[in-house]
Amino acid sequence: MPRLQAHTVRALALLVGASVVSTVAGVEFAQMWEADRVLPGDGVVRIGRLSEYHPGLRNTRYDAMVYYLEGERPGGTALVLGGTHPNETAGFMAALVLVERSVVASGRVVVIPQACNSGFTCTDPLEAYPQSFPVATASGVRTFRYGARAANWVDQWPDPLVFMQYPSNQQLSGFETRNLNRAYPGRPDGTLTEQAAFAIMQLIRREEVDVAIDLHEAAPEFPNVNAIVTHEKGRDLAAQAVLALEFEDLQYSLELSPDNFRGLSHREWGDRTEAIPFLMETSNPIQGRLRGKTSAELLVTGSDSLYARAVRSGVMRVTYDVGGEPLKRRVGRHLAGILALLEAYSATYGERPIMLANVPSYEEMITAGLGAFLR
């Protein structure tokens, strides 16, 4: 048998090493494929999937769970979306509280806690994001995934150099092709992200949604945090909600959806369906560029010394409380905003009320913590 040369032996050894590293890394990445545990409460009358509205999503990771809550008294229908951007945790968590905790007194509420389901199976590269975070609940510590901003690359690859938004043909950066909140209205034969957007539009039409709320977060330096963005159809309702929230000492700024920025939920849902759309933003330090150590602790506590320094310096405009922006506060704000918008809607459209019960108030959320309201 010919003797192997040194570089060949080295190549074999490195190949084995690369295989081991790939396996270890692969096992770790695959841990994010396991779905988060959702424990629907008594308010949920039916559980479905997005593929009911577009069969093309069946057997794909885009086929998100849909929870239907219905009251005894008839009324209107609301849609609440969390997890459009899986790295914006308060949206997912607020929607989860609704599923696990709330009941509907009048009307119906459809909740999709993880709208971009594919994005929960990975994190954004080069950000050192944790793959998960813990929440202490009565039934023990539950762990939830912290996903990427957009869908998983392996579900939709390659990204184009330039993303041409359908049907506006607005040109955006290539990675936006996987961003659900640029894909509306979507199309049944488009990319999987566009198909998911199409399914949500179909849901809005078929379920005759009256009010549609999309929950988001953004970096503290983003100019539109702690805001309610409204389509012009919802201007009056949003103004009423902002004033009502002020009585609870919750400040929100009001933003109008620009009609020349296409593909976003608050624009396309309003233009193409009967629903009145709103989008809400809270301040999430883990998404910011100024942040220090990135960890699950930062995600949950929202406490970052560098952001605190930025605020104290007075030279930067950041929406950050020096005590931190904990997850419970952000979830509390989202829930308070949802209630205020639904109350404004019900007061205006008295014949189609949408009333939720058993939803923790902002004060209750701050006092007891998020875990107290999850099963």
Partner 1 sequence: MVLLHWTYVVLAAVIVYLVVRELFDQKDWRTQLTLALVLIPLVLRILHVK
Partner 2 sequence: MNNAIRLGAITALLCSCTLLGTAEGDLRLKEPVLITSAGQSADVSMAELLCKKAGVKATVLPMARESDLKEVKTLIIVAGFSSKGLGAAGVSREEEMERVQGMISGAGKNKIPILMMHIGGMARRGGQSDDFNKAAAEAADCMIVVKQGDEDQLFSNIAAQRKVPLHLVDKMSGAVVPLKELFPKEEEKK
Here the tokens at position 36 are 């988060």
Could you say which of partner 1, partner 2, none residue 18 binds, taking C-beta under 5 to 8 angstroms by partner kind? partner 1
Residue 8 engages partner 1 in binding (rule: CB under 8 A)? yes
Q: Out of partner 1, partner 2, none, which partner does residue 22 contact, by CB within 5 to 8 A per kind?
A: partner 1
Enumerate helices (H) and strands (E) in the chain, giving the number of each: 9, 13
The only residue of 16, 223, 293, 363 in contact with partner 2, by rule CB under 8 A: 223
Is-cis flag, bond preceding 185, omega within 30? yes
Binding partner at 230 among partner 1, partner 2, none, C-beta below 5 to 8 Å by kind: partner 2
Q: How far apart are CA 224 and CA 292, in angstroms?
A: 22
Residue type, 121: T
Stretch that binds partner 2, among 132-140, 208-216, 223-231, 333-341 (CB under 8 A): 223-231
Nearest to 298 by CA among 286, 311, 308: 286
Beta-bridge partners for 47: 67
What are the CA-CA distances from residue 170 to residues 160, 191, 284 (Å)? 14, 16, 28
The single residue among 1, 2, 3, 7 that binds partner 1, judged by CB under 8 A, is 7
Residues 324 and 307: their CA atoms lie apart, in Å, by: 9
Residue 283 touching partner 2 (CB under 8 A): no
Pick between residue 195 and residue 226 the one whose CB is nearest to partner 2.
226
Residue 310 touches partner 2, criterion: CB under 8 A:
no
Among 10-18, 91-99, 206-214, 358-366, the segment contacting partner 1 (CB under 8 A): 10-18
Strand, helix or coil for residue 156: coil
189 Cβ contact list (under 8 Å, min separation 6)? 56, 195
Minimal distance, residue 170 CB to partner 2, in Å: 12
Rounded Cα distance, 175 and 160, in Å: 7
Distance CA 303, CA 284 (A): 10
Counting every residue written for the chain, the total comes to 375
Q: Which does 242 bind (CB under 5 to 8 A by kind): partner 2, partner 1, none?
A: partner 2
* CB of 11 or CB of 368, closer to partner 1: 11
Which of 48, 134, 190, 292 touches partner 1 (CB under 8 A)? 190
User: Could you tell me how many residues of this chain bind partner 2 (CB under 8 A)?
Assistant: 27
Q: Which helix (H) or strand (E) holds 144?
A: strand 140-145
> Residue 181: enclosing H or E segment and its boundaries?
none
One residue of 3, 10, 151, 323 binding partner 1 per CB under 8 A:
10
Choices 25-33, 163-171, 260-268, 282-290 (CB under 8 A): range interacting with partner 1: 25-33
Confirm or reject binding of residue 226 to partner 2 (CB under 8 A): yes
List 34, 42, 208, 246, residue binding partner 2 (CB under 8 A): 246
Q: Which amino acid is at 169?
A: N
Answer yes or no whether residue 154 interacts with partner 1 by CB under 8 A.
yes
Comparing CA positions, the residue from 72, 70, 54, 301 lying closest to residue 197 is 54
Cis amide bond preceding 130, omega within 30? no
Q: What angle do CA 277, 44, 242 make, to 5 degrees?
A: 30
Of 198 and 320, which has the nearer Cβ to partner 2? 320
Cβ at position 334, least distance to partner 1 in Å: 31
Selected binder of partner 1 within 48, 137, 143, 153 (CB under 8 A)? 153
Name residues contacting partner 1, limited to 277-336 (CB under 8 A). Answer: none
Q: Return the CA Rg of the chain.
A: 22
Please work out the total of residues on this chain that contact partner 1, with binding judged by CB under 8 A.
22
Q: What is the DSSP letter of 104?
A: E
User: What residues make contact with partner 2 under the rule CB under 8 A?
Assistant: 223-224, 226-227, 229-230, 235-236, 238-240, 242-243, 246-247, 251, 253-261, 317, 319
Which residues of the chain form contacts with partner 1 (CB under 8 A)? 7-8, 10-11, 14-15, 17-18, 21-22, 25-26, 29-30, 122, 153-154, 156-158, 190-191
